[in-house]
């Protein structure tokens, strides 16, 4: 089940981020996204209601949204939660008039690149030394409305 993120979810969301993402993020980053665009912050829950993943969207302009962060806890991956979070953010973006989704992903992150490609995203641009530790990224672009 996908629902909007709340302040109460932040400790759990932060724990998933720490164990899933390569970059370190301060806890304040998540509060920032929640304040900036509440409707673009979503969590995936198990049948028992436990938060197992999250997506943080950002508004990049009137017609474009960004995926700032996306993660599903390790033991719950490859069961569709990431796809549901992405689809829900796309729907939210459409509802607000945006038709393009953009994100940056680490060039070595083959699993995430496959994930986005099989969900209609294309690699648009190489971003050398994009990350704090000097790692390279790929910028990927997708439509908010999916034809397939
Ligand atoms: C990317 C991520 C959010 C996907 O979440 P998920 O719940 O596993 O996603 P889904 O189950 O909906 O889809 C999984 C898809 O990812 C891709 N994928 C996942 N692991 C993969 C791997 N080891 N090799 C190739 N493709 C892989 C496949 O396209 C797969 O689809 P399939 O299972 O139908 O083959 C999750 O892997 C994750 O949290 N990764 C760590 C954080 C991260 O990399 N975030 C993205 C940064 S931009």
List, for residues 52-106, the tens digit of each pLDDT value.
999 999 999 999 999 999 999 999 999 999 999 999 999 999 999 999 999 999 9
Q: What is the pLDDT of residues 4-58, one digit of tens each?
A: 999 999 999 999 999 999 888 999 999 999 999 999 999 999 999 999 999 999 9
How far, in Å, from the CA of 71 to the mean position of ligand 1? 9
Q: Is residue 148 part of a domain?
A: no
Mutate to test the pocket of ligand 1, among 85, 109, 112 (most ligand atoms within 8 A of CB): 112
* Token output for 47: 């049948």
pLDDT for position 132: 84
- Number of H helices and E strands in the chain, helices first, is 4, 7
- Domains: count for the chain: 1
Residue 79: its H or E element: none
Nearest-atom number in ligand 1 for the CA of 118 is 29
pLDDT at 147: 62
Average pLDDT over residues 137-143: 97
Residue 124 lies in a domain: yes
Q: Which CATH number covers residue 20?
A: 3.40.630.30
For ligand 1, mutation pick of 25, 82, 140 (most atoms within 8 Å of CB): 82
Give the pLDDT confidence score for residue 22 in this predicted structure. Answer: 85
d(CA 119, CA 128): 24
**Ligand 1 centre distance from Cα of residue 82 (Å):** 7
- In terms of DSSP H, where are the helices of the chain? 10-20, 27-36, 81-95, 110-117
pLDDT at residue 2 above 70? yes
pTM as predicted: 0.96
Q: Which domain holds residue 53?
A: 2-143
Per DSSP bridges, beta strands 100-106 and 41-45 are: unpaired
What are the beta bridge partners of residue 61? 64
Cα–ligand 1 centroid distance for 111 (angstroms) = 5
In a domain, 70, yes or no: yes
Residue 147: closest CA among 123, 117, 114, 120: 120
């Amino acid at each position: 089940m996908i629902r909007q993120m709340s302040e109460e979810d932040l400790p759990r969301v932060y724990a998933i981020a720490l164990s899933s993402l390569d970059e370190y993020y301060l806890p304040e980053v998540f509060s920032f996204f929640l304040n900036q665009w509440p409707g673009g912050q979503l969590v995936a829950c198990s049948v028992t209601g436990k938060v197992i993943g999250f997506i943080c969207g950002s508004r990049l302009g009137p017609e474009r949204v960004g995926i700032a962060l996306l993660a599903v806890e390790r033991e719950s991956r490859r069961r569709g939660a990431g796809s549901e979070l992405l689809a829900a953010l796309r729907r939210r973006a459409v509802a607000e008039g945006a038709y393009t989704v953009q994100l940056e992903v680490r060039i070595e992150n083959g699993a995430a690149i496959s994930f986005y490609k099989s969900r209609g995203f294309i690699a648009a641009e190489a971003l050398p030394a994009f990350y704090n530790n000097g790692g390279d990224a790929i910028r990927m672009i997708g439509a908010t409305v999916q034809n397939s």
